[in-house]
Amino acid sequence: MLPAAAPALPARTEIRDLAFFPEAAHQCGPAALATVLTWSGLSATPDAVVKQVYSPALKGSLQPALISGARRHGRIAYEIAGRDALWQEVAAGHPVIVLQNLGISWNPVWHYAVVMGYDQPQQTVVLRSGQTARQSMSFHLFDRTWARANRWGMVVLPPSQLPATAEERPFVAAVIGLEKARQWPAAITGYRTALARWPKSLAARMGIGNSYYAMGDLAAAERAFREAVSFHPEAGAAYNNLAQVLMAQGRATEALPAARQAVALGGPLAEVYRQTLEEIRKRLETDAAGESARF
């Protein structure tokens, strides 16, 4: 049933000013993605995203393709599952891409639509779907088609915003996806958003340093790792990357104690820390040899 289970939510809601891209033949994935990307503040069209998400041979778009498509535009792609999450996101004003099976289990007809509202008294769900700008569907029918696709959904947000249903690990993992898509400024914003809610997240602090490092901003990376070691003095990984970033700036002497601390702390990545320490020792030896040769 509709939101009854969550009394804190409004009885009816509908997201206004949502772009509408009438779907071309089996292009529901690009149309849905362009709709939410535009909502998130980008100027996107289905034509612009089609190459990134659409697989011609499948005549459709796979879910991971939609996820990575959103990330390549510097947007957080956060998956949701189940009805409660869907109502919460829509009530928070976040349009949700949903996968429906409009056929039956043994003859599936997969379709992406965007949920833009619901009406609890009327028991309806409002969708942007295919050629229809505003489709009001009975909740019962919608839920049957959605359940056949395991009630999969996804919100696409600017990295400065948290999904209404955000949890720490999956959210940080979604930001890591941005980092992997080489969207480093967006990833840094995403990690900061995570830290505002979960200040103890070591991964988010490390992610900031790693993203700055990938951008080539060594000074900012160093600041991030120094912050990481001060918040997490137990984290060898933070000392390890601090040592590496100091070394990258030609400061092997300063890197040495950080690398030693990482090795002393140990943990599952201890082998990596030992390797860092080894690199630094070698560097110092070469430097010393260079010095003595000069005199």
Joined tokens for residue 45: 């069209």
Binding of other proteins by 261 (CB under 8 A): no
As a whole number of angstroms, the distance between CA 161 and CA 74 comes to: 13
Residues 149-168 that bind other proteins (CB under 8 A): 149
Binding of other proteins by 226 (CB under 8 A): no
Binding of other proteins by 192 (CB under 8 A): no
DSSP label of 107 = B
Residue 110's closest CA among 32, 14, 22?
Answer: 32
Binding of other proteins by 61 (CB under 8 A): yes
Joined tokens for residue 51: 């190459």
Binding of other proteins by 173 (CB under 8 A): yes
Binding of other proteins by 25 (CB under 8 A): yes
Q: Which position among 13, 193, 240, 261 is part of the footprint of other proteins (CB under 8 A)?
A: 240
Stretch of 3-11, 35-43, 157-165, 169-177 contacting other proteins, by CB under 8 A: 169-177
Q: How far is CA 85 from the centre of its chain?
A: 17
Residue 96's closest CA among 14, 7, 167?
Answer: 14
Report the residue number, 9 or 115, with the smaller CB distance to other proteins. Answer: 115
Q: Which position among 65, 115, 224, 258 is part of the footprint of other proteins (CB under 8 A)?
A: 65
In whole angstroms, how close is the CB of 243 to other proteins at the nearest point? 9
Joined tokens for residue 4: 């009854």
Q: Report whether 224 contacts 230 (CB < 8 A).
A: no
Joined tokens for residue 155: 């919100």
Report the residue number, 107 or 292, with the smaller CB distance to other proteins. Answer: 107
Binding of other proteins by 282 (CB under 8 A): no
Binding of other proteins by 52 (CB under 8 A): yes
Q: Report whether 125 contacts 141 (CB < 8 A).
A: no
Residue 247's closest CA among 214, 279, 212?
Answer: 279
Binding of other proteins by 206 (CB under 8 A): yes
Place of tokens 């089996």: 26
In whole angstroms, how close is the CB of 257 to other proteins at the nearest point? 16
Per-residue mark of binding to other proteins, 89-118 (x: CB under 8 A): ----------x-xx----xxxxxx------
Element (DSSP H or E) covering residue 119: strand 110-119
Stretch of 4-12, 134-142, 158-166, 178-186 contacting other proteins, by CB under 8 A: 178-186
Output the DSSP codes for 173-231.
HHHHHHHHTT-HHHHHHHHHHHHHH-TT-HHHHHHHHHHHHHHT-HHHHHHHHHHHHHH
- Give me the residues that bind other proteins (CB under 8 A), please: 23, 25-29, 32, 51-52, 55-65, 67-68, 71-72, 99, 101-102, 107-112, 130, 149, 169, 172-174, 176-177, 179-182, 202-203, 206-207, 210, 213-214, 216, 235, 237, 240-241, 244, 267-269, 272-273, 275-276, 279
